[in-house]
Amino acid sequence: MIKQKDIFLGSEGDAWYARNKAHYQNLPEGADALLDFVLQQQLSPKKVLEIGCANGRRLELFHKTFDADCYGVDVSTSAIKEGESQSPALNLTVGSADKLDYPDESFDMIIFGFCLYLCDRNDLFQIAAQADRVLKDGGYIIIQDFHPATPYKNEYSHKAGIFSYKMNNSNLFLWNPAYSQFALEISTHGDKSMRVIEDERVSISLLYKDLANAYRQK
């Protein structure tokens, strides 16, 4: 059975970007809810990786705001090519979350930019392990994704055979004593009054890695 990852790397990643490109172009200059969230948390990352970065628009804002070295991974070749052309200061790569070609402890912030809901379920442990490997101790993970009360899946509306898997993705890390959740913002893609509808609920979650102090000695 073909994996969703391979479908997105093959064609659907580019199709997704083609459908959503106008959305990125129509956003007000400098506007980004996740950047606002990071500023509210009084964080100032210096080396950032975004998984699911599209054309790197958000990373460009992080680069300008924090003078950060910014890296991005996305399944869409067309999005990455556009980002490389528009934002040469960024380090962008076509790839997937389960295989990150970076040295251990490379980043002080990793962002999952609304991509985990489309990842293959049997890749989740590998995805979490890869993110943990390249994140420095004392670093942060930010997850922007759906936030249902309980896990479920929907059929993906744009291509047969693909599912959207909705769950609290922070739990990929919070089982580990090295990780703590420092902040959680629950909203929707639009009107916040829609938060009461489970299928509309999205969140931004801030996780902190502190392996050095994860286990107290008795």
- CB atoms under 10 Å from CB of 125, counted, come to 11
Helix H or strand E segment including 124: helix 124-134
Over the stretch 85-104, which tens digit does the pLDDT of each residue have? 999 999 999 999 999 999 99
> Taking the model in full, what pTM does it have?
0.95
Q: What is the pLDDT of residue 196?
A: 66
Structure tokens at 130: 């890869």
Q: What is the pLDDT of residue 29?
A: 84
Instruction: Give the separation between CA 176 and CA 166, rounded to whole angstroms.
Output: 21
Over the stretch 157-193, which tens digit does the pLDDT of each residue have? 899 999 999 999 999 999 999 999 999 999 877 666 6
Q: What is the pLDDT of residue 193?
A: 67
Q: Which residue has the tokens 């959740």?
A: 181
Q: Which residue ranges form the domains of the chain, and what is each CATH number?
A: 4-213 (3.40.50.150)
Low-confidence ranges of the chain (pLDDT < 70): 190-194, 196-199
